[in-house]
Amino acid sequence: MRRSGWLFALVLAATPLQAQQISDTHAPEAASARAGGPKSATGRDWMVTAANPLAAEAGAAMLRAGGNAIDAMVAVQLVLGLVEPQSSGLGGGAFLVYWDAAAGTLTTFDGRETAPRAATPTLFQNGEGEPLAFMEAVIGGRSVGTPGTPALLEAVHKRYGRLGWGALFAPALELAENGFAVSPRLAGLIAGDAATLARDPAARAYFLDAAGAPLAEGTLLKNPGYADTLRTLRVEGAAAFYQGALAQGIVAAVRGSVNPGGLSLDDLRDYAVKERAPVCGAYRGLDVCGMGPPSSGALTLGQILGLLEPYDLKALGPASSEAWRLIADASRLAFADRERYIADVDFVPVPAKGLLARDYLAARAKLLEGDDALPEVAAGTPRWDHAMAPPARVDGAAPELPSTTQITIVDDDGNVVSMTSTIEAGFGSRLMVGGFLLNNELTDFSFRSHRDGVPVANRVEPGKRPRSSMAPTIVLKDGRPVLALGSPGGSQIIGYVAKTLIAHLDWGMSLPDAIAAPNVLARFDAVEIEAGTAAEELAPGMRELGFQVKTGPMTSGVQAVAITPGGLIGAADPRREGVAIGE
Ligand code: GLY
């Protein structure tokens, strides 16, 4: 077993103080460490965790008023769209994994954006058929998909909510009308994005001051446009988002921008939330369940854990380079399958069962039996769910930036919400309408539509949902939830969730410590190590094993709740401004 001096450092890294020092090494993430507030909480009755204290308080207010987890989630999301507007909101999409305690069932809801009818597979290609530069694709209307979040909030509230729809709007409306203090993290991100925000008149007027300077931390920011939108949706429901003046405003912004897109009133009118069966992978006697396609979250997380199942990570421990070799190469194998096979299952067949089949994972896990990094990693050949000949598949090319937000809630009936919500990149398409930002979710599609004449599964098609990495997760033991979590972070989300689960389940770290432990993951060729943390000590050993190694900021934002016989434990990632509130 190869060991570094990392064990001692890792234990230190898991303390709140050390975690704060880790965050302080990154600007603008440094801001989050100064935000204060509890990063973990305990509760007997309920727990709400969210990426901003005002949003978590809104959820807590609903729960104190007799609301349930779905009521709290809607209130949290409406406030996040105001106080963390760069990450999620009405102009974006979300995936919800939901445990219905009364029914004893787990289900998922897909509120992912759809490509407009007018979209074509060459949406993100230049005249020569080559992929556009990422930011060229992102900014403006071209990248905007039909938002799903308003429809999702209404659909699940209609089905499960306990409080009246109107009551859920009170906290967000109050903050939009009377103002909230711009948080350190938001101020830092506005400053970093001022040039692109300045390109849209509405975004410029909101995020920059009259002289064009980015809003400073602590500025009291009111959002009358968002307040108007909230009042409209409160009275008229989500239909007022998808038809009428608001819909016309969204279409005009998308079509009238410098880099126009094809979103139409018909696309908005026809948007539909989809309920889908959860996808579960087995790990250490637990069922790790989450969102299937169009998200790659649960399948890829399930593959990583399934490939690691035969290996005794507990015995190896967190200080062992051997443990990280296994985790890194399991992740690379899973990401190779993800790139080849996972896309919107309503448009392309996905071998979902085959990717998690025990015999397939056992055979792939044997590839990890050597001592060194795998020199090459390629997609495997999972069984397909149908009898026809497997379709030809080639790898796509979809850049994904860290962004997004996680909401995790348990209520006093035992209902559990794990929802990951996004407008894709920070500040999405940078187009602002009705006081909220429009997503750039379409850039989660592969920019390449074909390779050598073979179509890419995740190519752009009209009405299709772009592949996601969002991994809202609920872990079941003997059919009952014991843990719920998720994270922002683009395609790093999957590694952040995997690390948290391994640190908690295999290495016995408490939930807050597992979240705070340094991030180390692999997606494609390189092992990525969180800069400024004790994990940097792993780098020489990983290089010796044959890995390429990169270090950089890895700003996970895990929000998690453990459901234990002794009560609820909530924890928020120390790298961001989130908090857990429980009672
Ligand atoms: N846009 C982030 C994701 O869906 O993974």
pLDDT (tens, 9 = 90+) of the chain, 583 residues, equals: 444 444 434 443 433 222 222 222 223 333 333 344 458 999 999 999 999 999 999 999 999 999 999 999 999 999 999 999 999 999 999 999 999 999 999 999 999 999 999 999 999 999 998 999 988 999 999 999 999 999 999 999 999 999 999 999 999 999 999 999 999 999 999 999 999 999 999 999 999 999 999 999 999 999 999 999 999 999 999 999 999 999 999 999 999 998 999 999 999 999 999 999 999 999 999 999 999 999 999 999 999 999 999 999 999 999 899 999 999 999 999 999 999 999 999 999 999 999 999 999 999 999 999 999 999 999 999 998 765 556 666 665 555 555 799 999 999 999 999 999 999 999 999 999 999 999 999 999 999 988 888 888 999 999 999 999 999 999 999 999 999 999 999 999 999 999 999 999 999 999 999 999 999 999 988 999 999 999 999 999 999 999 999 999 999 999 999 999 999 999 999 999 999 999 9
Predicted confidence at residue 30, as pLDDT, reads 33
Residue 8 lies in a domain: no
pTM summary value: 0.93
Calculate how far, in angstroms, residue 443's C-alpha sits from the geometric centre of ligand 1.
Answer: 9
Do 234 and 351 sit in the same domain of this protein? no
**Together in a domain, 478 and 543:** yes
CA-nearest residue for atom 3, ligand 1, is 468
How far is 570 from 527, CA to CA, in rounded Å?
29
Domain containing residue 285: CATH number: 3.60.20.40
Residues 434 and 570 occupy one common structural domain: no
Instruction: Write down the pLDDT at residue 452.
Output: 84
Are residue 440 and residue 577 in the same domain, yes or no?
Answer: no
Residues 344 and 381 both lie in one domain? yes
114 and 228 co-located in one domain:
yes
Give pLDDT, residue 110.
Answer: 98
Q: What is the pLDDT of residue 396?
A: 59
Structural tokens at position 90: 């009405």
Q: State the total domains in the chain.
A: 2
Between the CA of 402 and the centroid of ligand 1 the distance, in Å, is 8
Given ligand 1 and candidates 95, 444, 494, 556, which is best to mutate, with the most ligand atoms within 8 Å of its CB? 444
Sign of CA dihedral 225, 230, 233, 239: positive
Q: How far is CA 330 from CA 107, 373, 416, 439, 560, in A?
A: 27, 10, 29, 32, 24
The amino acid sitting at 484 is A
Q: Please work out whether the CB of residue 229 comes within 6 Å of at least one atom of ligand 1.
A: no
Rounded to the nearest angstrom, the distance between the alpha carbon of 171 and the centre of ligand 1 is 27
Regarding whether 428 and 351 lie in a shared domain, the answer is no
- Asked if residue 561 belongs to a domain, the reply is yes
Verify whether ligand 1 is closer than 6 Å to residue 468 (CB atom): yes
Residue 59 Cβ contacting ligand 1 at under 6 Å: no
Q: Do 196 and 204 contact (CB within 8 A), yes or no?
A: no
The alpha carbon of 204 and the centre of ligand 1 are apart by a number of angstroms equal to 25
* Cα 22–Cα 579–Cα 563 angle in degrees, nearest 5: 105
Look up residue 416 and give its two tokens. 């559990």
Among 232, 338, 335, residue whose Cα is nearest residue 293:
338
Give the number of the atom of ligand 1 that is nearest the alpha carbon of residue 491: 5
Q: In angstroms, how far is CA 212 from the centroid of its own chain?
A: 31
Q: Where are the alpha helices (DSSP H) in 506-581?
A: 511-516, 539-544
Return the best residue to mutate from 86, 95, 422, 473 for the ligand 1 pocket (most ligand atoms within 8 A of CB).
422
Question: Is 24 part of a structural domain of the chain?
Answer: no
Do 361 and 491 sit in the same domain of this protein? yes
From atom 4 of ligand 1, which residue's Cα is the shortest distance away? 468
Atom of ligand 1 minimally distant from the CA of 441: 1
Give distance in angstroms: CA of 153 to centre of ligand 1: 18
Cβ of residue 444 lying under 6 Å from some atom of ligand 1: yes
**Could you count the other beta carbons within 10 Å of the beta carbon of residue 479?**
9
Domain that holds residue 322: 277-386+469-582
For 310, other C-beta atoms within 10 Å of its C-beta total 13
Is 318 inside a domain boundary? yes
Is residue 160 one of the residues assigned to a domain?
yes
87, 114, 299, 400: which to mutate for ligand 1, most atoms within 8 A of CB? 400
Give the amino acid at 128. E
Residue 23 lies in a domain: no
Residue 391 within any structural domain of the chain: no
Q: Which of ligand 1's atoms lies nearest the C-alpha of 424?
A: 1
Q: Does the N-terminal peptide bond of residue 28 adopt cis geometry, omega within 30 degrees of 0?
A: yes
| 381/504 same-domain check | yes
**Token pair recorded at residue 425:** 């990149």
Predicted confidence at residue 453, as pLDDT, reads 85
Q: Which atom of ligand 1 is nearest to the CA of 466?
A: 4
Q: Is the same domain home to 375 and 499?
A: yes
Task: Tell me: cis bond preceding 294? Omega within 30 of 0 counts.
Answer: yes
Q: Please name the residue whose Cα sits nearest to atom 1 of ligand 1.
A: 424
Pairing of strands 274-276, 105-111: antiparallel
Task: Tell me which residues are annotated as active site.
Answer: 404
Ligand 1: distance of its center to the CA of 492 in Å? 10
Please count the other Cβ atoms lying within 10 Å of the Cβ belonging to residue 392.
Answer: 10
The ligand 1 atom nearest the CA atom of 425: 1
Does residue 368 sit in the same domain as residue 237?
no
Cα–ligand 1 centroid distance for 583 (angstroms): 32
420 Cα: distance to centroid of ligand 1 (angstroms): 9
Q: Which of 138, 493, 556 to mutate to test the pocket of ligand 1 (most atoms within 8 A of CB)?
A: 493
Q: How far is the CA of 237 from the centre of ligand 1 (A)?
A: 26
Asked if residue 404 has its Cβ within 6 Å of ligand 1, the reply is: yes
136 and 206 part of one domain: yes
473 lines ligand 1 (CB under 6 A): no
Q: Are 115 and 462 in contact (CB under 8 A)?
A: yes
Position 394 in a domain: no
- Specify the ligand 1 atom closest to the Cα of 297: 5
Amino acid, single-letter form, for residue 225: G
